[in-house]
Amino acid sequence: MTTVNQNQEAPALEEKKSGNNLFPIFIKLHQINTLVVGGGNVGLEKLEAILRNSPEAKVTLVAGFIREEIKELATLHPQVILVERNFEWNDLEKRNLVILATDQAELHAKIKAKTEELGILTNVADTPPLCDFYLGSVVQKGDLKIAISTNGKSPTLAKRIRAYLEESLPDDIQEVLDNLQAFRNQLKGDFQEKIKQLNALTKGFKPNP
């Protein structure tokens, strides 16, 4: 029988755990139900980020106090529901995504424990260890959208990279995308052949210097 030396296995396991294991996805927030808990500065920041990227996102925001800027933003998005009272456990019913944005760390921990039990993906503002996902810094030009993450270590650097990409990408990128879609729709052959032709077509593409 072969004996496994646990001491030898530990470094490999530790190395695996310390890597960047984030899986990037783009979520159709207009098709699911999102809850934001918190109506102050952080709540405003999170709601703005959601609606900037998904203007038709179905969001309910719950807080004992809601800033006027949030109320003004909600008037521009009729599907956004504001509930001006303290969080209650039944607020979690039928939620697919939860974002916690108060200044109450203890409340965040209690809610996160419950959402984990219910299988609801949760983001906890300024508390990476409790997050199931992060809100990345986003570059958007037409249909092109690039999300940037530093694995929760430096949102400031992510914003710097976003600014660089926004300046580097050409303003006519939407025209490029539309032309590529039209070309792709006309392609013949199997999947591998289509990829080969698209790669050849886009080989010379470069962002602005």
Q: What pLDDT digit, counting tens, does each position of 155-199 carry? A: 889 999 999 999 999 989 999 888 888 888 888 788 788 788 778
Beta bridge partners of 148: 137
**Strand pairing of 144-148 and 137-141?**
antiparallel
Please name each of the domains of the chain with its CATH number.
Answer: 29-135 (3.40.50.720), 136-209 (no CATH)
Task: Please report the pLDDT score of residue 198 as a whole number.
Answer: 78
Q: Which residues of the chain have pLDDT under 70?
A: 1-18, 206-209
Q: How many CB atoms lie within 10 A of CB 66?
A: 20
Beta bridge partners of 36: 61, 99
Task: Please report the pLDDT score of residue 187 as a whole number.
Answer: 82
Task: Please report the pLDDT score of residue 7 as a whole number.
Answer: 43
Q: Do residues 108 and 122 make contact, with C-beta atoms less than 8 angstroms apart?
A: no
Task: Please report the pLDDT score of residue 10 as a whole number.
Answer: 39
Q: Using one digit for the tens of pLDDT, what is the confidence trace for 117-127?
A: 999 999 999 99
Task: Please report the pLDDT score of residue 14 as a whole number.
Answer: 42
Task: Please report the pLDDT score of residue 179 as a whole number.
Answer: 86
Task: Please report the pLDDT score of residue 30 as a whole number.
Answer: 98
Q: Do residues 15 and 4 make contact, with C-beta atoms less than 8 angstroms apart?
A: no
Reduced to 3 states (helix: H, G, I; strand: E, B; else coil), residue 32 is: coil
